[in-house]
Amino acid sequence: MWDKFSEKDFFVGEEFVKLSNAEKDKALNTNAEIIELVCEKLSFCAVTIPGGYWEIAPGEPAYWWLPEEYRMKQATILRKLLGEKIMLIANTGGVLAMPSSDNYMSFAISLCESPEEIDELALKIFQQGIESVNRFSDVGIQTFCTASDIADNGGPFFNPEQMERFILPYLERWCMYIKQIGGLSILHSDGNLNLYIDKIMNTGVNALQAIDPVAKMDIKDVKNHVGDKLCICGNIDIGKLITNSPESIYNETKALLEFMKDKPGFVLGASNAIQKEVPPENYLALVEARKEFTNKN
């Protein structure tokens, strides 16, 4: 929604790829200026750098991405422009996730019949994640996210034995490496994670996002359970942000902030990526609720 809140053209995804080399360099600087403007207007304290390639359908890339070379250029420009005003977050990956629809069956078969292939894949994803962490660290980024969905609405995709073999050891190693270089680590996962909250918390990850309300994850219950051992990020329902009234969003946000006000380790946000379909007035209702609550408290 950068375009809507800045009234300027924000270039990522397919629109960016179609530009000439000179236009791409100009677009990166314009993007950074837009991000600075919107962060100030909406009182953001953190922003995620456009991500690497991923698909919303086979062969159709998602909106919020840049080719890797330009991702690094965008990160460098943003770090220089924003200084320490805004926390910049790089989605580096590093931890295996459940499969997407195009390889779901083959992944599931390998998981059961050829687990050594999943071992190799988990190690490869971890190594690529560490390489990405190092590249972003070199340009001054210190907060890193792995977007690794390990559950759906019904519960975890991986059983306990698979979690102990393919997921948790690599999450722990990824977090430990980031801690050693002075950074912060965030795990994003959709779905119902209740069964594995303790194990996730014990890996040393700094924060968990998105605490998925559609999957019956109650952020209040999660916070009461983890206390100050894990920062949680979320979780105003993205579906409600699209369909509900501004008044409803405002009230829900204030209620969440009221509950969290004496509990350390909470970052207010939506339950997932903000869709283009979210009415600006609904997102502004979330922002205004936070501003008013902060001013009173």
Q: Based on the fold, state whether residues 153 and 268 are members of the same structural domain.
A: yes
Q: Based on the fold, state whether residues 66 and 185 are members of the same structural domain.
A: no
pLDDT tens readout for residues 111-122: 999 999 999 999
Q: Would you say 52 and 68 are in contact if contact means Cβ atoms under 8 Å apart?
A: yes
User: What is the model's pLDDT at position 60?
Assistant: 81
**Final residue of a structural domain among 35, 68, 87:** 87
Q: Based on the fold, state whether residues 162 and 231 are members of the same structural domain.
A: yes
- In the chain, the number of structural domains is 2
Q: Based on the fold, state whether residues 212 and 146 are members of the same structural domain.
A: yes
User: What is the model's pLDDT at position 47?
Assistant: 96
Q: Based on the fold, state whether residues 117 and 183 are members of the same structural domain.
A: yes
Q: Based on the fold, state whether residues 101 and 68 are members of the same structural domain.
A: no
Q: Based on the fold, state whether residues 15 and 141 are members of the same structural domain.
A: no
pLDDT tens readout for residues 227-266: 999 999 999 999 999 999 999 999 999 999 999 999 999 9
Assign residue 137 the CATH number of its domain.
3.20.20.210
Q: Based on the fold, state whether residues 98 and 81 are members of the same structural domain.
A: no
Q: Based on the fold, state whether residues 207 and 97 are members of the same structural domain.
A: yes
Query: Domain range for residue 153?
Result: 88-296
199, burial (CB in 10 Å: exposed 0-12, middle 13-18, buried 19+): middle
Q: Based on the fold, state whether residues 20 and 123 are members of the same structural domain.
A: no
**Final residue of a structural domain among 30, 52, 87:** 87
User: What is the model's pLDDT at position 62?
Assistant: 84
Intervals of the chain under pLDDT 70: none
Q: Based on the fold, state whether residues 152 and 69 are members of the same structural domain.
A: no
Q: Based on the fold, state whether residues 200 and 109 are members of the same structural domain.
A: yes
**Final residue of a structural domain among 57, 87, 117:** 87
